[in-house]
Structure 1
Amino acid sequence: MNIASVRRPIIPPTPPRAPDDMSFFGRIAVIKQNMIATWGQRAYEEEVIQGRFFLHKSFILNQPDAIRHVLLSNYQNYTRTPAGIRMLRPVLGEGLLLAEGHAWTFQRRTLGPAFTPRATANLVPHMTAVLDETIAKLETRTGEPVDLREIMQRMTLEIAGRTMFSFGMDRHGPTLRNFVMEYGERLGRAHFLDMVLPVSWPTPMDRARARFRKRWVEFVAMLIAERRAVGKNDGAPPRDLFDLMDEARDPETGKGFSDEQLVDEVATMILAGHETTATALFWALYLLALDPDTQEEVASETRGEHLDSMADIDRQKFTRAVIDETMRLYPPAFLIARAARDKDVVAGAEVNKGDILMIAPWLLHRHEKLWDQPNAFIPKRFMSKEPPDRFAYLPFGAGPRVCIGAPFAQAESVLALARLIGAFRVELADTAPVIPFGVVTTQPDHSPMFRITRR
């Protein structure tokens, strides 16, 4: 995809690339700290890289056709790796993101109606109300250093709480954030035994994760009980995601979710819905602070817009391109790892049962054969008449297991960025480069301070 640009685009900082000849144990040591720092230059140039992972082969796939095969054409032959299950199950349980087989089919069919464009449109008022409050609070802090990463986390958590339960998260927000920080900093990092032992063999970290899960499940169940105590008027339409999920029935069997299943579904939606969106918005604000000209284009597009409906959001074409480009450079899920259930052939290579296939959006989105100026921030590439290959751009995954909440997350991200940049000029008050690192999601290595001024 060729990009014509008058101005020299910015190239945001990234971690140094690993030596291509780094040893296996050297990579294992780096993985615990920053997964995206384990890949060398070859991974950004070659379509398929084959290696070994103990008794099995491993593959890094950067070829769209091969990725299509694994995620779409033959997706039933591939399951999550033991390390992936260990990292996610304590916080997501058996919810949609981790379910397999019939359990996944049931959950996907049952949840589908809650995430249609029409259902998302009905939730926009919750988003706009929280944005109004956030902007009002920020107006009292113009000219002083502010931590926009923390503010985005609080804002998206509040949106998640209101769209899920119709109540604010003032009382429960700090506890929920503490759960997220505790898990990400201590338990969400893969250790050597996490990667080599079967899931049925508990590692020392698994015991700590089990203790975490017990407390986490109790907390989510308490939120659900509090929401149910509010009740719902008989015959009234659903007012939030909880109503939609609680009333959801499989269109084939008429079966709904048990209380235990509902806990895992709510946990999945709250965490996936607030943490990934907060991170995407942080990176978008960081990029726009580095690129004032592009920031002014966003502000110009939003000028005079009410921005309180899906129709308003859909008109923000350039702002949407900024979000798309942000998620290209900083994909929320930086790695999709799958283990083969049975033999297969991928990109001409023989795949055996147990082999590991890695599809890394971090690599794919910066691959030198797929993108022009792959490390540069160029939002207008997403306004081209030639969109990127569907399997070269995977911010929400692809195939049957594509993120069910993608329309909601995209609407929320575009709306929030448009409203924030329409209200404030954003600059960095911190000169230290922000380096992305991969631990569950693509996070910044520190939270820089910003300075905002009213437009």
Structure 2
Amino acid sequence: MTIAEIHDLSLSRRPLVPPAPPRAPDSMGAFRRVLKMGDNAIESWGQRAYEEDVIRGRFFGRSSFILNTSDAIKHVLVDNYENYTRTPGGIRVLRPMLGEGLLIAEGKAWKHQRRTLAPAFTPRAVNTLIPHMIAVADETVVKLKQQCGHPIDLREVMQRMTLDIAGRTMFSFEMGRHGATLRDFVFEYGTRLASPHLLDLVLPLSWPTPRDFARARFRKRWTAFVAQLMAERRAAGKSGDAPPQDLFDLMDAARDPETGASFSDELLADEVATMILAGHETTAIALFWALYLLALDTESQEKLAREARGVEGTAEPERLPFTRAVIDEALRLYPPAFLIARAAMGPDRVSGFPVRKGDVILIAPWLLHRHEKLWQAPNAFLPERFMPGAPPPERFAYLPFGAGARVCIGAHFALVEATLALARLVGAYRIELADEVPVMPVGVVTTQPNRSPMFRIAPR
């Protein structure tokens, strides 16, 4: 499908344009913009951010840059990525949950972790985990029969389903006993501690902020819980020389191919926490937004249902091209990681601008995915743009999993899980919204809905 054909399609069928938050006035001052970042970062960007290539600003005496061009993004995330590290605010927000795991680590520590974990996330390794994914999705479909005709919170259903998939693929056991506790941890952190306070953004990491003390208390309880999960999995063991059953087997046995080093128990716990949270929360959000879009666009929903029922019971995501296209388009409109923030470790030059040590670089998938120079009908829901034969997006215009050396290691896992689960759910049930109140995205750590709308489902 050519760009012209996508354009003709967008005109012929009046594509869905889902609700989005208002854009900030371009005249908004820097201080107000920083305050808005802590509330809903998506509402801090004005129209210029969706039109221009580079936007330069000031942030407490430092320069900040929003990058919307491929060359600039490639330079920061690929060519000179070692010069750019996470910002102090990002580290403060993520470290209590993820410790020193792969998402937080830098330099040699990150390279060791990446090399060691990579074999566990190859397509071949992920294929061995597909039966776990399918089993949970099918169980979810069966449980939903009791909810037909009644209002149902599909966001919570997706959270429970992806949590159980995370538990089974990681530990080979159901998360029934631990699911509520894990969800409580995620909810507590997301509502109380994840939003960066002004002091989190301006103070150096060596100066703890008031919120850091609360985060430290949270981390003590959180790491004890993860240790309990690991202890239960080790107690279950695996028989003799049996092949690996799950991700924990693969990660526990993993060795750095260059040094032969394995993970300490403390670091393994941080990797487990990272994979459970990244695999559970972000996939649940992606599935929620896909279901919300399909409830608004019945034509696309019926097309996906026909595809799913045409290959009923498949465990091969490649046989579900339209389902995958819906997931890709949902990730475009609502990227879970809506912002990549980096701080310069040393001087550099980006898009002709001098960059000094400490300057902040912002690469926002939310902006890139809706940028008016990069997409035809950027705010419209058009899965067809990701179908086989359609022109691929410009490089670095589509970054749902980041890019470069630090691209998300679990991207393939997440896409396989989301594609198979969505096909089973929509193939089994017709989905509609129970009310007409718009659901707005909120950018705080991930792209969350501002409320959990109620849906209604009916058997097909």
CA distance in 2, matches of 1:276, 1:285: 14
Return the match for 1:401 from 406, 416, 436. 406
**Structure-2 residue corresponding to 1:425:** 430
Match of 1:245 among 242, 251, 260: 251
- Range with greater deviation from structure 2 (116-125 or 299-308): 299-308
**Cα displacement string for residues 31-74 of structure 1 (whole angstroms, at most 9, x for unaligned residues):** 22111100000000001000111121000001111101100011
Q: Equivalent residue of 1:254, what SS?
A: coil
Out of 57, 79, 85, the residue aligned to residue 79 of structure 1 is: 85
Deviations 1:367-404 (CA, angstroms, capped at 9, x unpaired): 00000110000010112431002311000000000000
| Residues 334 and 360 in structure 1, CA contact (< 8 A), matched pair in contact too | yes
* 1:331 lines up with 2:335 in the alignment: yes
SS at match of 1:350: strand
1:18 and 2:47 correspond: no
TM-score normalised by L of structure 2: 0.97
Report deviation, 1:29. Answer: 2.3
Match of 2:110 in 1: 104
Contact 1:64/1:391, CA 8 A, preserved across alignment: yes
- Tell me the SS of whatever aligns to 1:171: helix
* 1:82/1:195 contact within 8 Å kept: yes
Conservation of the 8 A alpha-carbon contact between 1:124 and 1:308: no
- Match of residue 451, structure 1, among 431, 439, 456: 456
Distance in 2 between the 1:438 and 1:185 partners? 13
AA in 1 matched with 2:266: E
SS at match of 2:349: strand
- Counterpart of 1:113 in structure 2 is 119
Task: State the distance in 2 between where 1:244 and 1:372 align.
Answer: 42
Match of 2:347 in 1: 343
* Worse overlay, 22-31 or 436-445: 22-31
- 2:193 matches 1:187: yes
- Paired residue for 1:160? 166
User: Pairwise mapping of residues 167-206 of structure 1 onto structure 2 (< 5 A)?
Assistant: 167-206=173-212
CA–CA distance in structure 2, aligned partners of residues 357 and 231 of structure 1: 45
Q: Deviations over 1:433-454 (max 9, x none)?
A: 0000011100000000000000
> Which runs of no fewer than 5 residues in structure 2 stay unpaired?
none
1:266 aligns with 2:282: no
Aligned amino acid, residue 429 of structure 1: A
- Residue 225 (1) aligns with residue 222 (2): no
1:307–1:415 Cα contact (<8 Å) kept: no
Q: Tell whether 2:391 aligns with 1:386.
A: yes
Give 1:23 deviation, angstroms: 1.3
Supply the AA of the counterpart residue of 2:418: S
Deviation at 1:308, TM superposition (A): 4.2
What CA distance in whole angstroms lies between the structure 2 residues aligned with 1:382 and 1:167?
Answer: 35
Question: TM (normalized to structure 1)?
Answer: 0.98
Kept after mapping to 2: 8 A contact 1:92/1:98: yes
Specify the alignment match of 1:134 in structure 2: 140
1:257 is aligned, of 228, 242, 263, to: 263
What code does the residue aligned with 2:304 have?
V
- Native 8 Å contact 1:365 1:393 kept in 2: yes
Deviation at 1:252, TM superposition (A): 1.2
Residue identity matched to 1:192: L
Q: How does 1:88-99 map to 2 (within 5 A)?
A: 88-99=94-105
- State the shift of 1:142 in Å: 0.7
Q: Distance in 2 between matches of 1:231 and 1:117?
A: 25
Aligned to 1:39: 45
CA distance in 1: counterparts of 2:390 and 2:351, whole angstroms: 28
Aligned to 2:296: 290
The Cα shift of 1:28 comes to 2.4
Percent identical across equivalent pairs? 69
Aligned length: 453
| Contact preservation (8 Å) 1:128, 1:308 | no
* 1:125/1:308 contact within 8 Å kept: no
Shift of 1:163: 0.3
Q: After superposition, where does 1:136-151 map in structure 2 within 5 Å?
A: 136-151=142-157
| RMSD of Structure 2 on Structure 1 (CA) | 0.8
Q: Which amino acid aligns with 2:453?
A: P
Aligned to 2:447: 442
Greater shift, 17-26 or 169-178, is seen at 17-26
| Structure 1, unpaired ranges of 5+ | none
Instruction: Specify the alignment match of 1:303 in structure 2.
Output: 309
1:82-137: CA deviation from partner (whole Å, max 9, x where unpaired): 00001100000000011001100110000011000011000000011101110001
